Amino acid sequence: MTEQEFIEKMQEEVLDTDSEIVLDMALTDVEEWDSLSFVSFIAMAKESGFTNVNREAVNKAVTIKDLYELVK
């Protein structure tokens, strides 16, 4: 998954936001990052073929870039 594809998926499928999302953003600064977007991220990752992405891995993520590392 390219960085552009990832950002688009994050905006549309995971966060459902029209706010700008960039890789170095801290997840704590992303208003839409909540329990629903958390499970949506795992679902998006699995649908994209990254079946090893789990709660534990996502819990360790601090920034958007950390999430990208799980699916790139």
Residue of 7, 17, 25, 66 that binds other proteins (CB under 8 A): 17
* Comparison of 34 and 69: residue with beta carbon closer to other proteins: 34
CB of 17 to other proteins, least distance (A): 6
**70, 50 contact by CB (below 8 A):** yes
* Comparison of 22 and 36: residue with beta carbon closer to other proteins: 36
- Using CB under 8 A as the binding rule, whether residue 63 contacts other proteins is answered as no
Binding positions for other proteins, rule: CB under 8 A:
12, 16-18, 36
